[in-house]
């Protein structure tokens, strides 16, 4: 089962992804993609660390997501990827062909992964069009990634004010 959890900042995405993982009563591996480049981000990462279950395995992988997923996936494990938006930012900042190469690897690997995978991403395309080129490219890339993921995921959930809205239901 592949699940995409989308929503705005502080919409409850990570909390919902964790609840889904707990419901499955399987070991959980969290793949964290964020990097602490400033004090505010360090505080966000610290808050996530405090909130997660102590028995979860944590893999920090800001760029090579496909490789990390392949390495940790198994039929009896739940993987949470938190978050794809930070991963996308890391790829855009890396420059070169990192975005094309890594996103292609990720989208190729995902459908064949055994077990459950819950992916968290920020929906960024509900506001105004940014004035700078990098921000517009980021929105375009995020929108393209989300559409491709939604097509291959079994379930898509949109979070609003802590409430899950099912956009695509898992097959019975």
Q: Which two tokens stand for residue 121?
A: 């991403």
Q: Which two tokens stand for residue 110?
A: 């995902």
The Cα–Cα gap between 30 and 58 comes to 5
Helix segments in 74-117, DSSP class H:
84-94, 98-109
The Cα–Cα gap between 128 and 126 comes to 7
Catalytic residue among 48, 64, 116, 146: 48
Q: Does the annotation mark 116 as catalytic?
A: no
Rounded (10°) CA dihedral 149, 162, 65, 97: 70
Buried b / exposed e over 122-136, threshold 16 CB at 10 Å, is bbbeeeeeeeeeeee
Residues recognised as catalytic: 48
């Amino acid at each position: 089962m592949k699940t995409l959890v989308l929503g705005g900042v502080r919409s409850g995405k990570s909390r919902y992804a964790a609840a889904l993982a707990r419901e499955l009563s399987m070991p959980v591996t969290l793949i964290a993609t964020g990097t602490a480049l400033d004090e505010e981000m360090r505080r966000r990462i610290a808050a996530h660390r405090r909130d997660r279950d102590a028995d979860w395995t944590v893999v920090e992988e800001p760029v090579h997501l496909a490789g990390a997923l392949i390495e940790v996936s198994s039929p009896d494990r739940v993987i949470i990827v938190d978050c794809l938006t930070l991963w996308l930012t890391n790829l855009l900042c890396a420059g070169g062909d990192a975005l094309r190469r890594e996103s292609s690897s990720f989208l190729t690997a995902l459908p064949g992964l055994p077990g459950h995978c819950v992916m968290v991403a920020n929906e960024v395309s509900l506001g105004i069009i940014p004035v700078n080129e990098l921000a517009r490219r980021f929105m375009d890339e995020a929108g393209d990634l989300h559409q491709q993921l939604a097509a291959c995921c079994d379930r898509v959930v949109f979070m609003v004010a802590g409430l899950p809205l099912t956009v695509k239901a898992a097959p019975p």
